[in-house]
Structure 1
């Protein structure tokens, strides 16, 4: 099942991050692509739901299929994550968590990302997203 995550930036070039309620780790807003939904539509929807920010997708950061990144969903299902990470710009809203999946949402200056608790696969996505202009990663 494909998932999409969004590297949204504001006019100050800050990155939108959310903190997961279950693990306390920070990540990009995102989630599963629903049946009948495009990756871009899912990206816009997930960013609004999880972070309270309206985003406009502007490009592709990469496609990630790390076999070592296994995800255990709330419903108990286990799967290898297949992730599309998209670049976006914020067009409205103020960061706010959904209180269910995300407990915090905020803009973060790139220089502050290094000190945050972020799972290794997600850190790679974020590092790639912060290198704007680089070709999309296929991993």
Structure 2
């Protein structure tokens, strides 16, 4: 992909120890070593970013931050509004993707700026193929109208 469109336009997402699709890697030193090795092999490619869907292994995250010079995006599973910038503040990430917060709140910037409440996401509507769960969440303006 990097050869085709340029490494500066390519990123990769890793989800260490995230049980997805029935696969459970566990949380062992061997798993951490595999991810460190993988990231070590990715560094020379000079990709635009590494996006880590993080489930709480701060030791691994710290080591990946030390290894990865370009932009590191970290989204933590189960974080709340008050925790969005924690990894940036701690020097563990450059960017904190908003993911589901943004999906459920089309006006996320305004909500964060003003301290307005966030809409809850409806997991039952994710990846359903229709507008439900994608374009039907209320905005602040729509709520007050």
TM-score (norm. length: structure 1):
0.28
Which structure has the larger Rg over C-alpha atoms? 2
Q: Which structure carries more helix by proportion?
A: 2
Q: Per chain length, whose mean CA-contact separation is higher, i.e. which structure has more relative contact order (CA < 8 Å, sep 6+)?
A: 1
